[in-house]
Structure 1
Amino acid sequence: MEKEQVERFVKNLNLKSKIEVRSYQVETAISVLNKGNSLVVMPTALGKSYIALLITAEKARLGGRVLFLAPTKPLVNQHFKLISETLPYEVEVVTGSNPAKKRFYNAQIVCATPQVVKNDLKNKRLNINIFSLIIFDEVHRAIGNYAYSMIAEESKKSNALLVGFTASPSSERKKIEEICSKLSIENIEVRGEQDEEVKEYVNEIETEWEFIELPEWLKQLTKNLQNLILKTCEPLGLKNPSKRQLLEIRLATLSHLHHNPSGFKTLTIIAKAINLIHIAELLETQGLKTTIDFFNGMSKKKSKAVKELLKDDDFKKVIEKVASLIQEKKEHPKFDKLLEIVKEEVSKNHSVIIFAQYRSTVKQIVDLLEKNGIKARQLIGKSNSGMNQKEQVELIEQFKNNSFKVLVCTSIGEEGLSIASVDIVIFFEAVPSEIRLIQRRGRTGRVRAGRMIALISKNTRDEAYFWASRNKEKKMRKLLLKMKKNASVKQEEALKTEARKPVEEKTRELEKMKKVRLTDWI
């Protein structure tokens, strides 16, 4: 698209403040507006928010009302800020912080969390038909029973345009098909870092994988635990048990429980084994403190599986050993490596985001950095006495303003947060999900080149997760391009057929086409 065309399109939107948009963003927005319900897949930092803004602006210009959904409160506030600063329309935020009696949805553009909207639809406090556009940010969540699913189903009763945005839908065809089916997707827009129109805007992200050798004392500890896992799983006939195998056996056992009361014993064995495997994973990938914190939480439970574990002499020896190693000031070697990396980055005045799976690990990392004179803060979710929305938003603003250089996050920091100045992202552990790999990595390289470092314990689950996420990411890209091609071919065929028909037949066929879903084309 030529520069003049882009400028003309943007000028017609009546924006109250000037924004810089790229030709591929305008092309994508126009394609969505012309082709109907769409899935937009684009790497982070390529401006999905601006594409959503352009679509929102056009619908609002024509008098339509817009519902803009995002999965977390900080992300909702981020979208609210961009829209309210750019568009000349009333915008409001609706989240769980608003009491039900004060949620009115009166503004022309509403930015909201999906759980609140789901509850208000369910309790008849909201009529979805008032909206002509519904945007689902981080639409990869629209699977299973997540709130997006119910909202999308209700939206089918309206004439609203449904648009989903994500950097990473999934590498599994079934999950992408589920998303497309729920949103009645008619069009897929895919832009990648290698596409000609995008290349000039892509900032390089240097990726490094630090493989860390476990010390002998930690290898021996995990070996003892592995022997206990094998002993526990003997009655199940499993020689190399995994969580997936155990969950499959659990599901099968539950389905026949009313015919086989002895299945309760099997369920206890499975629960014990899953707890043991989880403890082994914590030892290998997180460290002693997080392991003992999990044990302390588990010990408070009253289940038969926990009671049997607490009586097991071999298990007690493992836990006693963990406690004694903590007293000896021993810890996973990842912490020393992490400290070394962060010290070097902070000395260069670089900003750092560290991701860790568990709150216990996040706290331990912050304590370690603070002890070594590095100003760091933790960003965690609201549940279990965590951080409320106001605290999260304030912390993110402080980090943006360089009040501190290191932000340590759980998964809440993975999705959508736009912090332009992040120089390096560090994964404390590998993640098995291609979605989480892409989301975490995308926190850097937004306005300049960035770095990503993942800490991986050698010959552990960390290493398996590392290969799994990389392979899934490649598979996802190939799958999306194939699906886009199939969708385009189907649209072209439909248009050619429609052009040859008499006017009356064209009208009937167009009505049918509105009901066609992408899953019919695959």
Structure 2
Amino acid sequence: MTRIRKNPNQVDLFPFLGKEQIPYQFLRQDDLIKANNPTILEQIAQHLGFSTQTDPKNNGLTLLLQHPFLAPGTIEARPYALSAVNQIYDDNGIVILATGLGKTFIAVLQIIRVLKKQPQKKVLILAPTKPLCEQHYHTLKSALVDLSVRFITGRTGQKKRLKLWQDHQIIIATAETIREEIAKNSGVGEAADVRLLIIDEVHHLTGDHAYAHLAKYYRDYQPAIQIIGLTASPDPDIQKLEKLRLLLDVKPSCVVAKFDTDQDIIPYTHDRLIKPIFLDRVHTGIQKILKQKFVTVLTKETTILATGLQLDLSRYLYFNQEKQVVGLKIKSWNSLLGIIQERITQTTEENERKKYRHLLMTWALAMRWRTAIDRLNKGLTELARFLRRQMIEDAQHAKPSRTMFIQHDTTQIAMYALMSKHLWPMDYSPAGTRKIVAIEREQRAIATQDRKLHAIKYIINDHPGSQVLIFTQYRDSVTKIVNFLNNEFPRLITHRFTGISSQIDDPGMTQTEQKEVRKNYMKGELDILVSTSIGEEGLDFPAVDVLIFYEPISDVRRYIQRLGRTARHTSGIVYILIYKNSEEETLHFASQAKGRIVKRIIQYYQSLEK
């Protein structure tokens, strides 16, 4: 496939202006921009223990860092990166930096500084997933010389872990694995061994996440440890970010926060055009009828809950123009579960406890109806697969809320309607090939009434030769999109990308299969990748030209992570498919508003540098 690549010579490092000296003290990135002098970069690099040389491959326009531990030509002397290391120096820190701008290389510089001073100590890098651990391992192996690097994950043999820990200076590991080893007192993860702890995707450090436990453990048992958190997607709630900062014992001035539109970042970014596409939704007769029935039931269940709890639940819900409940705000709704459970615990009267247990069932039922509505909004095929799984799973292992949901008159009506249109996923053997073909044609016709599929077709035709990545929320939607694209573009190679699953009809992909697909996609052997959320975080897809959101998402952190899959090494374009006058519009505008909040938070932390 032919790719359009940005001219690597377009980045122009600062011309000499004659300023000869700067004090060896904290220097803000704004000062670097104002100084406009590569001599400053050289002096900061020297202060941090590095030397520099011009890059002969780029006509001397860029400076490269040099160090005995650093592979030649690996890291460019970028002002924001050097300033970040200088700003944190030997303190704890948090680096908020857009994807593709080198958070890992900032970590590399600090690793070199620490191990140069204390080679007998270890650096521990925590990542949330095994694929991210492997990615960091390959990055560090290519960037570092004379420093031993290894990764330890849940798939590493139990007997091998201690030796790997003892024999290597830099260990990359999943948080759960290290937490498990510390609990066993195996010697792996021993606090006394670690001088520098780097937490990748540090926004996960909340609640009962292994990150939170490990951060507390290392702070309690290794007072001399330095902790640095890395993220591209901070929480839009500044109180949560401040809680994270305090948990890691980070000074406000050691929060390095940069936005991709900042003056010193722009020369190192690539153009990313974001185009929301608003579509008119065309519901089939069945969809209209079922949507109204589902909404009526969800409204009834949430009313029962509000009355029983004597709470105004409007902030937990999405409404349509008729003031009916069409969806749940999941984070808020999950917090409501805690309120119900607390009342059950605190109530001593048996009748009251019985009432709240019933409300707990109502809460769970509302969740199932919300999911049914969400699947119906995606399409009848998604709804059919969801209902069938609910039915089979309940037959295998009954749960009260699921049984009530399956046996509800509205659910039974939906199942019958789907079967009548041959959309119920089942093993059938109708007599005659002609009938099979007729059924498949009818199924395809109903599935392709989803206008988003035709929008995707238009986008792909509009970008010939481009590598495309499509994100969608559900595996069933992945299946529908892949089937559609295989039918419409038989000459293009389309592949699904999902996590492992325990679903009845979809085992998902093992980590080995995921690794193979990622490798083939990065080599350009796949044209289109259709992914669930597993492809959102951290993974480097360097050649994505076109990114498509099959639906908008309200979680701004996931939104930022998705955007980061394109325009990492080349320019890219992002399409967000949104149905007009629907919950999707609400979600889209909510994510945009949260994005503006994140930018203000970054500006706040930048102001603390001054």
Q: Is the contact made by 1:13 and 1:58 (CA closer than 8 Å) also made in structure 2? A: no
Aligned to 2:264, what secondary structure does the other structure show?
helix
Displacement of 1:383: 4.4
Which residue of structure 2 lines up, in the alignment, with residue 412 of structure 1? 534
Q: Is the contact made by 1:225 and 1:318 (CA closer than 8 Å) also made in structure 2? A: no
Q: Distance in 2 between matches of 1:100 and 1:229?
A: 48
Change (3 A) 1:423 1:278: same
Which residue of structure 2 lines up, in the alignment, with residue 291 of structure 1? 383
Q: Distance in 2 between matches of 1:358 and 1:49?
A: 30
The total of aligned residue pairs comes to: 484
Larger mean CA deviation between 229-238 and 57-66 belongs to: 229-238
Change (3 A) 1:460 1:319: farther
Aligned to 1:132, what secondary structure does the other structure show?
strand
The residue identity in structure 1 corresponding to 2:192 is: N
1:63-462, aligned counterparts within 5 Å? 63=119, 64-88=121-145, 89-104=147-162, 105=165, 106-125=167-186, 126=188, 127-156=190-219, 157-158=221-222, 159-186=224-251, 187-217=254-284, 218-236=287-305, 237=307, 240-241=324-325, 242-244=327-329, 247=334, 249-257=336-344, 258=347, 259=349, 260=352, 261-284=354-377, 286-299=378-391, 300-301=393-394, 302-325=398-421, 326=423, 328-329=442-443, 330-331=446-447, 332-345=450-463, 348-372=464-488, 373=490, 374-384=492-502, 385-462=507-584
Change (3 A) 1:408 1:183: same
Displacement of 1:436: 0.5
Q: 1:57 aligns with which of 71, 89, 112?
A: 112
Change (3 A) 1:250 1:155: closer
Q: Is the contact made by 1:228 and 1:315 (CA closer than 8 Å) also made in structure 2? A: no
TM-score (norm 1): 0.87
Displacement of 1:116: 0.6
1:3-18, aligned counterparts within 5 Å? 3-4=38-39, 5=42, 6=45, 8=51, 10-12=65-67, 14-18=69-73
Which residue of structure 2 lines up, in the alignment, with residue 513 of structure 1? none
Change (3 A) 1:8 1:234: closer
Per-residue Cα deviation, 1:456-478 (whole angstroms, up to 9, x for no partner) = 12222211111111111110121
Which residue of structure 2 lines up, in the alignment, with residue 505 of structure 1? none
Change (3 A) 1:44 1:3: same
Q: Distance in 1 between matches of 2:239 and 2:259?
A: 22
Displacement of 1:275: 0.9
Computing the radius of gyration over CA atoms, which structure comes out larger, 1 or 2? 2
Q: Distance in 2 between matches of 1:249 and 1:110?
A: 40
Aligned to 2:276, what secondary structure does the other structure show?
strand
Q: Is the contact made by 1:38 and 1:164 (CA closer than 8 Å) also made in structure 2? A: yes
Change (3 A) 1:247 1:402: closer
Change (3 A) 1:481 1:93: same
Displacement of 1:303: 2.2
1:481-520, aligned counterparts within 5 Å? 481-486=603-608, 488=609
The residue identity in structure 2 corresponding to 1:161 is: Q
Which residue of structure 1 lines up, in the alignment, with residue 14 of structure 2? none
The residue identity in structure 1 corresponding to 2:369 is: L
The residue identity in structure 1 corresponding to 2:143 is: T
Displacement of 1:282: 1.7
Per-residue Cα deviation, 1:64-121 (whole angstroms, up to 9, x for no partner) = 4211111122211111111111211111111111022211213111111111111111
Q: Distance in 1 between matches of 2:208 and 2:112?
A: 31
Displacement of 1:341: 2.0
Q: Distance in 2 between matches of 1:479 and 1:379?
A: 33
Displacement of 1:41: 0.5
Q: Distance in 1 between matches of 2:178 and 2:115?
A: 20
Change (3 A) 1:102 1:188: same
Displacement of 1:268: 2.2
Q: Distance in 1 between matches of 2:603 and 2:538?
A: 23
Q: Is the contact made by 1:121 and 1:128 (CA closer than 8 Å) also made in structure 2? A: no
Equivalent pairs: percent with the same residue?
Answer: 25
Q: Distance in 1 between matches of 2:511 and 2:194?
A: 26
Unaligned ranges ≥5, structure 2: 1-31, 53-64, 308-312, 314-322, 424-438
The residue identity in structure 1 corresponding to 2:304 is: P
Q: 1:26 aligns with which of 82, 86, 105?
A: 82
Q: Is the contact made by 2:296 and 2:324 (CA closer than 8 Å) also made in structure 1? A: no
Q: Distance in 1 between matches of 2:358 and 2:207?
A: 30
Q: Distance in 1 between matches of 2:228 and 2:302?
A: 47
Q: Distance in 2 between matches of 1:431 and 1:446?
A: 21
Q: Distance in 1 between matches of 2:552 and 2:454?
A: 17
Aligned to 1:197, what secondary structure does the other structure show?
coil
Q: Distance in 2 between matches of 1:362 and 1:182?
A: 39
Per-residue Cα deviation, 1:151-192 (whole angstroms, up to 9, x for no partner) = 111110212211111111110122212321222212100122
Aligned to 1:419, what secondary structure does the other structure show?
coil
Q: Distance in 1 between matches of 2:481 and 2:111?
A: 41
Q: Is the contact made by 2:75 and 2:105 (CA closer than 8 Å) also made in structure 1? A: no
